[in-house]
Structure 1
């Protein structure tokens, strides 16, 4: 199955996932490395965000990552700003359950999403943004084949310091070439 790896499967996000997403969205340690604002959101704001931005968007798709052994939802992978004409999209990944950090689940979930993006949707390019201090994520993206395309210098303030936001992209042909090389 396209949406399954050895330990992870992806399923489409539904309205029933709102409470879980709300928990992850308000966990400062989870959002520290992915959300520029670090705001705490009331449940009503999360419901509105899920209804209108996640589920109601024509230019986005979101999937809950589920750990197959225990059927536990552990995170979310999303495509946003899908541009069908130019075959581009932005991807986002958040592992909401901290006990699954650093164990390869993010890599598996992201590869499942990229397989879908490049093999099924036939997109030409996927891009993302990553905070420069998030070394683990930068290493993961480089390993998968993303290349740095630029940065927004000193555009994020965390812990009394300015940090860059790194812009990375991956082309379909690069992903296919890397897949063949890794086999």
Structure 2
């Protein structure tokens, strides 16, 4: 099945996931490496975000990443800012359950999302943004085949200093070559 790998599967986000997403969205440790804002959101703001930005958007597709063995929802992967005319999108991944960090679940989820983007949606390019201090993520993205495309210098102030936001992208043909290798 397209939305399953050895250990994880993706399922479409539903309104019932709002509570779980709210927990992850308000966990500063979870958001530290992925969200420019470490604000605490009221439940109503998360409900509105899920309703309009995830469920009601024509330009985004969000999926809950599920551990197949335990059926535990562990994170979220999304394609956002989808441009169907130019066949481009941006991807986002957050592992909300910390006990799953550093064990390859994010990689499996991201590969499932990229399979969907390139094989099913026939996108030409998928991009992402990553904070310069998130070296583990940058290493993973390069390993998958993402290329460095540029950076926004000193855009993020975190932990008492300025950090760049790194822009990376992968083309459909590059992904296919990497998958066959």
- TM-score when normalising by structure 2: 1.00
How far apart, CA to CA, are the structure 2 residues paired with 1:138 and 1:154?
Answer: 17
Task: Map residues 126-141 of structure 1 onto 2, 5 A cutoff.
Answer: 126-141=126-141
Task: Map residues 1-183 of structure 1 onto 2, 5 A cutoff.
Answer: 1-181=1-181
How far apart, CA to CA, are the structure 2 residues paired with 1:38 and 1:55?
Answer: 23
1:146-171 per-residue CA deviation (whole Å, 9 max, x = no partner) reads 00000000000011110000000000
How far apart, CA to CA, are the structure 2 residues paired with 1:159 and 1:121?
Answer: 38
Gaps of 5+ in 2: none
How far apart, CA to CA, are the structure 1 residues paired with 2:59 and 2:10?
Answer: 19
How far apart, CA to CA, are the structure 2 residues paired with 1:16 and 1:10?
Answer: 15
How far apart, CA to CA, are the structure 2 residues paired with 1:35 and 1:179?
Answer: 29
How far apart, CA to CA, are the structure 2 residues paired with 1:62 and 1:52?
Answer: 12
1:128-156 per-residue CA deviation (whole Å, 9 max, x = no partner) reads 00000001100110000000000000000
Where 1:177 maps in the other structure, the secondary structure is helix
How far apart, CA to CA, are the structure 1 residues paired with 2:136 and 2:56?
Answer: 32
Gaps of 5+ in 1: none
1:111-137 per-residue CA deviation (whole Å, 9 max, x = no partner) reads 000000000000000000000000110
Where 2:126 maps in the other structure, the secondary structure is strand
Stretches of 4+ moved more than 4 A in 1?
A: none
- TM-score when normalising by structure 1: 0.99
Where 2:36 maps in the other structure, the secondary structure is coil
How far apart, CA to CA, are the structure 1 residues paired with 2:24 and 2:37?
Answer: 14
Aligned residue pairs total 181
1:103, distance to aligned residue in structure 2 (A):
0.0
Measured on the aligned residues, the alpha-carbon RMSD in Å equals 0.3
